[in-house]
Amino acid sequence: MVSRVIPVDDFDLVIFGGTGDLARRKILPGLYLRALAGQVPPDARVIGAARAENTDEEFRALVAEAIEEFVPAARRDPEAIAAFLSRLSYVAIDATGDSGWPRLKALMRPDVVQAFYFSVAPSLFGALAERLNTQNIAGPQARIVVEKPFGRDLASARALNATLAAHFDESQIYRIDHYLGKETVQNLMAVRFANILFEPLWKSEYVDHVQITVAETVGVAGRGAYYDKSGAMRDMVQNHMMQLLCLIAMEPPYHFDPNAVRDEKLKVIRALDPVPAQDIVRGQYLAGGGEGSYLADVENPASTTESYIALKVAISNWRWKGTPFYLRTGKRLRARESEIAITFREPPHSIFDDASGWKENVLVIRLQPDEGMNMKVMIKDPGPGGMRLVQVPLDMSYAEALGDAHDDAPDAYERLIMDVIRGNQTLFMRGDEVEAAWAWTDPIIEGWETRGDRPQPYDPGTSGPEDALMLMHRDGRRWREIKS
Ligand code: BG6
């Protein structure tokens, strides 16, 4: 296969929280894989920064272990690993104090791209941003990368945006939503805007409804303290699912340009109707399959936080008025399966008998696993016996269609970190987008807090609480099955 890797500009990347979980699992293995692919220039360097006193050697040992643990064996090349480790150094730094900053400054090269990854608690963002500025570390090509959760409501997101804006321009701020880095999520834009086929039908006149499902089998054990304060609404809907909804619902941007794309997404978020209580179902998983219940996992027997949510969302604009978007996401469900299904309406008039077996056209975009697309179309059921119809799939699996190119595609973090270095913000959330998403989310959460709503229990290994089925049944529709 011809390599399509284009090296990025020379850079120094500082990871605050460089010994933390995200750095070990995703950021550092991701950087190694990009170096292995030949995308990282020879002089580029990675600097781990955290509170603990570590030597460069100790940090390198930690990264070597992380590569061992999180990079598949087939891609662990001893020479490439040694070369990658030699790019690393470490600074013990006090985010809210003075120690460590002069050493960091001495390590940074002012004339290359400087990326500062804030892989730390949001409460430290302000202190870090301020010190990067006051200590004159951030040069003209500096950019900062921040992780979710970006606030827990509109007020806190606004405060965070204001804190960052005091030290960095919006064009220097990269808010990560790792769903946007997934190949299949980017593919939503390619499918919609590189084909004439779908766009004329992409509106309420032809689309009956849209289902967006992000089902997970994992529970929240091990991260209960964070999760119990968030729940599925804050953890998944306000960000990842919102982004999926935007990419499906947005108008074509005039160009594949960061602000043009983000302007269109913002318009969708602003057009979302408030969601009434009867259009929301929340759930909490019970114990089962040898695993504990949600309440045990978060060690809070009185918790009313949801590990599952289904909601019916209406978009008040010309394109989508009258086409509901049904969203659902949850933990400990039957399978790990994320997909978007667009169900089209009936033809305006049928020339066939009622009994002929007609079913709706459905376009299913499988995001993970088994990435691909499936278009369900009607054809004649072969053989004698009159005109009977049968629904058949036009199925495309990325793995089959694209082979190695699919298998070798960078994972979300690899792609996003390289975009930071390239200075491309298309796949990052803009401040106003995040605020608009919270402005829609806040009243929903406030509603159930005020009413004291409790989530419904559901058995693990199922597709969620019973009432979620009703959410669609009462509209004469049904969820697609989550297959095991
Ligand atoms: C994270 C959430 O942002 O996304 C997790 O905090 C969730 O709760 C995860 O499990 C899902 O990501 P992915 O890439 O596994 O679908």
Closest CA relative to residue 392, chosen from 359, 422, 344:
359
Cα 423 to averaged position of ligand 1 atoms, centre (Å): 25
Cα separation, 415 vs 171, whole angstroms: 18
Which ligand 1 atom sits nearest the alpha carbon of residue 179?
14
Residue 2 has pLDDT above 60, yes or no: no
pLDDT at 217: 96
Phi (first) and psi of residue 138, to 5 degrees: -75, 120
Mapped to the 3 state alphabet, what secondary structure does 211-263 carry? Answer: EEEEECCCCCCCCHHHHHHHHHHHHHHHHHHHHHHHHHHCCCCCCCCHHHHHH
* 426: three-class secondary structure by DSSP: coil
* 444: three-class secondary structure by DSSP: helix
Residues annotated as part of the active site: 240
* 418: three-class secondary structure by DSSP: helix
Any idea what the Cα angle at residue 436 is, between residues 433 and 441, rounded to 5°?
A: 125
337 CB within 6 A, ligand 1? no
Mutate to test the pocket of ligand 1, among 183, 235, 368, 370 (most ligand atoms within 8 A of CB): 235
208 CB within 6 A, ligand 1? no
Percentage of the chain with pLDDT > 70?
98
Cα 227 to averaged position of ligand 1 atoms, centre (Å): 11
Residue 1 has pLDDT above 70, yes or no: no
**What would the pLDDT profile of 341-388 be if each residue is shown by its tens digit?**
999 999 888 888 766 788 899 999 999 888 999 999 999 988 887 888
Which ligand 1 atom sits nearest the alpha carbon of residue 338?
16
The residue-averaged pLDDT of 307-322 equals 98
- pLDDT tier for residue 249 given thresholds of 50, 70 and 90: very high
| Dihedral angle over CA of 329, 363, 326, 390, nearest 10 | -110
Residues whose CB is less than 8 angstroms from the CB of residue 6 and which lie 6 or more positions away in sequence, other chains included: 39
DSSP-derived secondary structure for 300-341: -TT----SEEEEEE-B-STTTTT--EEEEEESSBSS-EEEEE
* Contact predicate 378/359, CB 8 Å: yes
pTM of the model: 0.94
- pLDDT tier for residue 407 given thresholds of 50, 70 and 90: low
Cα 94 to averaged position of ligand 1 atoms, centre (Å): 29
216 CB within 6 A, ligand 1? yes
Which ligand 1 atom sits nearest the alpha carbon of residue 216?
10
Mutate to test the pocket of ligand 1, among 22, 186, 216 (most ligand atoms within 8 A of CB): 216
228 CB within 6 A, ligand 1? no
Which ligand 1 atom sits nearest the alpha carbon of residue 412?
14
Beta bridge partners of 342: 210, 363
**What would the pLDDT profile of 423-468 be if each residue is shown by its tens digit?**
999 999 999 999 999 999 999 999 999 999 999 999 999 999 999 9
End-to-end CA, the chain: 34
* b/e sequence 74-87, b meaning 16+ C-beta within 10 Å: eebeeebbeebbeb
Task: Write the residue with the smallest CA distance to atom 2 of ligand 1.
Answer: 235
Cα 240 to averaged position of ligand 1 atoms, centre (Å): 8
Which position has the token pair 């032809």? 206
Mutate to test the pocket of ligand 1, among 150, 234, 236, 242 (most ligand atoms within 8 A of CB): 236
235 CB within 6 A, ligand 1? yes
Closest CA relative to residue 137, chosen from 172, 112, 165, 109:
109
Cα 82 to averaged position of ligand 1 atoms, centre (Å): 31
Closest CA relative to residue 59, chosen from 26, 92, 95:
92
Cα 178 to averaged position of ligand 1 atoms, centre (Å): 8
Own/partner pairs for 161-167, CB < 8 Å, 24+ apart? 161/431, 161/434, 161/435, 163/125, 163/126, 163/129, 164/125, 164/126, 164/129, 164/431, 165/431, 166/126, 166/129, 166/130, 167/129, 167/130, 167/132, 167/133, 167/138
Cα 395 to averaged position of ligand 1 atoms, centre (Å): 27
pLDDT at 3: 59
Which ligand 1 atom sits nearest the alpha carbon of residue 226?
6
**What would the pLDDT profile of 281-300 be if each residue is shown by its tens digit?**
999 999 998 999 999 999 99
